[in-house]
Chains A and B, each alone.
Chain A
Amino acid sequence: MATEIEEIRGVGHSVRRVEDDRFIRGRGNYIDDIRLPGMLYMAILRSPWAHATLNGIDTSAAAAVPGVIAVVTGELMAQHNLAWMPTLSGDTQAVLVTDKVRYQGQEVAAVIATDPYIAKDALQLIDVDYEPLDPIVTPQRALETDAPLIRDEKEGQTDNHIYHWENGDKDATDAAFAEADTVVSLDTFYPRCHPAPLETCGCVADVDSATGQATIYMTSQAPHLIRTVFALVAGLPEEKIRVISPDIGGGFGNKVPVYPGYVVATAASLLLGKPVKWIEDRSENLISTGFARDFHMHGEMALKSDGTMLGLRASLLADEGAFHADAQPSKFKVGLFHIVSGSYDLPAVHVSADGAYTNKAPGGVAYRCSFRVTEASYLIERLVQNAAYELDIDPAELRRQNFIQPDQFPYKSATGFEYDSGDYETAMNIALDKIGYADLRAEQQQARADGKLCGVGMASFTEVVGAGPHKDYDIIGVKMNDGSELRIHPTGKAILKISSITQGQGHETTFAQIVASELGIQPEDIKVMHGDTDNTPYGLGTYASRSTPTVGAATAMVSRRVREKAVKLAAHLLEVAEEDIEYEAGRFSVKGAPDRVKTIQEIAFAAYTDFPDGMEAGLEAVFYYDPPNLTFPFGTYAVAVEVDPETGVWEVKRMVAVDDCGVRINPMIVEGQIHGGLTEGYGIAAMELITFDEAGNCIGTNFMDYLLPTAMETPKFELFETVTPSPHHPIGAKGVGESATVGSPAAYVNAVIDALRPLGVTNIDMPLTSAKVWEAIQAAGGSGGS
C-alpha cells in the first residue's frame, strides 16, 4: 500500500492547461483546418444595399465558370422549404433572400465550387436586379408611423415594433420618485459593437447521401442547441445530425446563433452529395453575424438628499436589426437587464423596454456578457457616479451608503432576483486601498490647479450568470439544464464528457480538476471530451458565463454519483458496511481504521474485475443539473486616467480589479479570463464601434475601421480577489468569464468623466475616442485649466 499520498491537483490549483500542448505546436484543429475528400467550397454573395426589393437574379454567367458546381439562390432554397429559418428569439430570418433585402451584407446567393478562389470569382458574375428602398437605420425612425415596413412578409406585422417588455413595480417606483429630494437622470447610447473573435465563423457540412447522416463541423458555442434547431429547420431526423465543434478560435457570444451560411452549406451538401466548406472572411463576420448592445437607454434614480437611494427607472429602446435573432432566454425579452439595480439596496425599480426592427444586421448576442447584463451594469454604475456629483457626495461613499449588506443575503431584488451571496463593501475597500484612492483625489486637486485633467472612476458591479433554473430559463423551449457524463476506466483513468465547450476557457483542464477534487484522480488522468453531439450529454452550451455554474455543477454532481458506487465497492473490498466507509482525497477508508483503505484506482479496477453479486459492472454515471438559482459574481474595478485637454487623448494610469467569483477552480485561468475581459471592456469603452451611414452602409467592416485594442493601448491590470462562495453551487463557484467585460466599461468611462468634471461634462457615449473627448472639452468651453 502506498504510504505517501500525492497531493491531488484539483480545485484551487493553477494547473497548466492540457489544451496548450497542441496549440503551441500549431496542432490545433480549427474549422478551416478540416479537409475532407472531395470537399467543395462555398462563397456567399451579399447585398450592397440595406433595403431593396429583389427583382431577379441571373446566375448563368457564374454557373458557367469552370469549377463552379452550383449556384444557390433563395428560390432554390424555397423549393426545399429552406428559404427562411427560425431564430433563437422565436422570429424568422431569411436564409437567402427571396423577396427583399433587409440589411447590407444580407445573404443573397451562394456559389459552390471546387476551389475557394473560383467560388469568389463566380460571385462577381452573379447579376442581381435590386430596386433600392428607403433604409431605416435608427430604432427611433423605425417606430415613426410613416416608417416603411421592414418585415412586410410577416403575417400580422403592421409596424417595425417587435416587443414591449416590463419588469418591476411601476406604482411603487412612481411613489419612490414622488418622495425623492433629488432625481438624477442619464440618457446614454450603448452602441453596437461586435465580439469579433479572431477566428471567423464557418462550417464543413458533410451529408452522406446514402445514409442521410449529416455531420456538420461548425464554429458553435452551442452544438446541441444547433442540432435541435437543424432538426426543426430542415426536418432532418435528429439522430442523423451530428454537430461537431472543433477547436474554436474565440467566441464571445458571436458563435451562439445559427447563421444562414451553415444552413446553405448543409443544404448544398445534401443536394450535391459532397462535403461543403464555408468560411467567412472578416468583413462577412463583422457585417452579418451577431452584433452586440445597440441599446438606447434612459435611466433615472430617485434619492434623498442624504444619498439614500429610493428608486430606479430604466427605459430602453433596442435596435434589433432586420430579424429578431437575439440569443437569450425566451421569457426575458431584454435578457437579464433587470439586474439593473446592481449592487444597491434599491427598494423600487421599474424597467420598460421596446425592440424595433431596422435595416441593420440581426443577432443581438451578448458579447462576453450574460444576456444584456453589461448594458444594465453600465447604466447603474454611470448613474451612481452622476448622482454622487449631483449630491456632492464622493462616488465611493454613495456606493458604500447604498450597498446591499452581507447580512441581507439571500437578497430579494425589486425585479425578482434572489442574489445568492455578496460582500460588496469589502471588494470596494480593497480596490480603493490598492489604487490609493485618497491620494489620487488629493493629486487630482493639485493637477486641476496645474491645468491637467486627471480622473478616477470605478464600477462596483454585480453580475447574474449561470442560466438557469428550468422553471424560468429556456431557449426556444429547451430548458437551460446541462449534463455531464463520467466514466472511470479499469486502470483508474477517466473520461469526462460535458455538454459545454471551450473556446479558450480551458475546460479540458478545469473540468478535470473538479473531478480530481471529488474523486482523487489526478487531472492529467482525466480526458475531457466536448463539442461532439454524438458523444456528449445534451446541454445548451458555453456562453453567458454558464459553464461553471451549470456544467461545472453537473460535473461535481456526477463525480459524487460515481463516488456513491465507489463507496459500495470499497465496502465490498474491505468487507465492511457502506456506512463504515469514509472518503478523502481519492482514498476510501474504514472509519476508525485509516490504514484499511482502497484508492479510487483499486476501486475502479474492482468495478470491472471484482464486484459483488447483484451489482452492475462498471463505474460511470451521468448527471443533468438544474440550478436552484443563478449565481451573482461581483467586484469593484477602479481606474485612474489622465486626459490631454489639447487632444482628447486619455490614458489609463492605473487599473485595479477586485473580483469575487466564489471558489476559483484554477486561479491562473481565472486571472487570464479577467485580463481578457478587462481588455475587451477597454476596447468597448475606447474604440470598438459598428455604426452605419444614412444609407445603411456599415462602417466597421474590417480591422482598420473596427478597432481592437493591441498590446500598445491595452492597460496593465492589477488583480485582487475576495472569495464569497455561492451557497447553492456544489463547489461554491460562480463563473467569471464575463465579469470584467460587464463591469469595466463603466469604470473606464467614469474615470474619464471624472477627469472632465471641472468642465461640467456629465456624459460622453462610448466609444470614448479622443475626437469625442476633445469635442466634449471644446463644447464645455476649453481645457478647464488655468
Chain B
Amino acid sequence: MQVTITVNETEHTVDVEPRMLLVHLIREELALTGTHIGCDTTSCGACTVLLDGTPVKSCTLFGVQADGRSITTVEGLMDGGALHPIQAAFKEHHALQCGYCTPGMMLVGSALLAEHPDPSDDDVRRAISGNICRCTGYMNIVAAIQAAAKASAGETAGASA
C-alpha cells in the first residue's frame, strides 16, 4: 500500500505491506534508526515517536495508520544545528547511560513540556511511566526534563522580552 507521511517535517511516500509496523517503516524504509525496539508489546516505550504531537508507541501501530499524518522522531528534535533544550538537559544531567531508551524518553518529555511548562516531579514520573529505563533509575531523567522546562521557559521569556 502507498502511504504518505510527514516525518520530521519532510513528506515521504512509501509502498509498504499493510502489516508493516510503524516502527519498521520508520527504521527500515526511512532509515531513521534513532527509534528503537525494546519489547514488541507496548510495554517499554523505546519505540516512542510523536504522532501529530502526541507520544505513541510505534511498535503497536501499523505504518498505514500513519497515512496522512505527521511524525516526529528523535532525529527531528534538533532545530537546525541547535539541540532541543531536552537534548541538552539529558546530557547535562546525566539522564542517559546506554542510550537505548533515550529517544523515547526525550520525545515523551518534549510532549509533556509542550503542554506543561513547569511540571512537578510527580507530573514527569507519570508522563514517563510508559517508558522503561534499565540504567538510570529515573531520577536524573526527571531532573533533566524539569531543567529543560526551565530552559524553555527562559527562552520563551527571552523571546517575548
Contact = CB atoms under 8 A, between A and B. Distances in A.
Given A250-B98, A282-B41, A711-B125, A24 B90 contact: yes
Contact of A198 (B44, B75, B106): B44
A20 B90 contact: yes
Interface in A1-59: 16-17, 19-28, 30, 32-33, 35
Nearest to B142: A711
B106 to A, nearest CB: 7
B19 to A, nearest CB: 7
A30 B100 CA distance: 8
B134 A676 contact: yes
B157 to A, nearest CB: 24
B94 interface: yes
Nearest to B41: A702
28 contacts: A17-B91, A22-B99, A23-B99, A25-B87, A27-B34, A28-B34, A32-B36, A117-B19, A117-B20, A196-B134, A198-B101, A200-B38, A249-B98, A504-B98, A669-B94, A672-B135, A675-B136, A675-B139, A676-B97, A703-B44, A704-B43, A708-B134, A710-B128, A710-B129, A710-B131, A710-B138, A711-B124, A711-B142
B137 A198 contact: no
Interface in A693-746: 702-704, 708, 710-712, 714, 716-717
A695 to B, nearest CB: 23
B97 A504 contact: yes
B39 A711 contact: no
B59 to A, nearest CB: 10
B137 A678 contact: yes
Contacts of B135: 250, 504, 672, 676
Nearest to A16: B91
SS of A interface (majority): loop
B36 A30 contact: yes
B137 A197 contact: no
Nearest to A285: B39
B133 interface: yes
Interface of A: 16-17, 19-28, 30, 32-33, 35, 117, 196-200, 247-250, 252, 281-283, 503-506, 668-669, 671-673, 675-676, 678-680, 702-704, 708, 710-712, 714, 716-717
Nearest to A710: B129
B33 interface: yes
A675 B152 CA distance: 27
A634 to B, nearest CB: 20
A252 B133 CA distance: 13
Given A196-B134, A703-B44, A711-B138, A32 B37 contact: yes
Nearest to B19: A117
Interface of B: 17, 19-20, 27, 31-41, 43-44, 46, 73-75, 77-78, 83, 87, 90-92, 94, 96-103, 106, 124-126, 128-142
A760 B101 CA distance: 43
* Ranked 3 nearest A-B pairs via Cβ: A26-B34, A249-B100, A23-B99
B126 A198 contact: no
Nearest to A502: B98
A198 B97 contact: no
A732 to B, nearest CB: 23
Given A33-B33, A675-B140, A198 B46 contact: yes
A32 B75 CA distance: 17
Contacts of A714: 137-138
Contacts of B39: 282, 702-703
Contacts of A249: 36, 38, 98-100
Contacts of A712: 125-126, 129
Given A27-B34, A199-B36, A247 B141 contact: no
Contacts of A505: 97
B44 A26 contact: no
Given A198-B36, A250-B100, A282-B44, 8 more contacts: A23-B99, A24-B74, A30-B33, A249-B98, A249-B99, A711-B124, A711-B138, A714-B138
Given A703-B39, A704-B41, A199 B98 contact: yes
Contacts of A21: 91
A709 to B, nearest CB: 8
A617 to B, nearest CB: 39
A20 B136 CA distance: 14
A503 to B, nearest CB: 6
B75 A711 contact: no
B142 to A, nearest CB: 7
B38 A199 contact: yes
B140 A672 contact: yes
Q: Which of A23, A24, A669, A710 has the most CB of B within 10 A?
A: A24
A716 B103 CA distance: 23
Contacts of A671: 94
Contact of A708 (B87, B94, B96, B132): B132
A282 B75 contact: no
Contacts of B99: 19-20, 22-24, 28, 247, 249, 504
A28 B34 CA distance: 7
Given A25-B78, A26-B74, A703-B41, A717 B33 contact: no
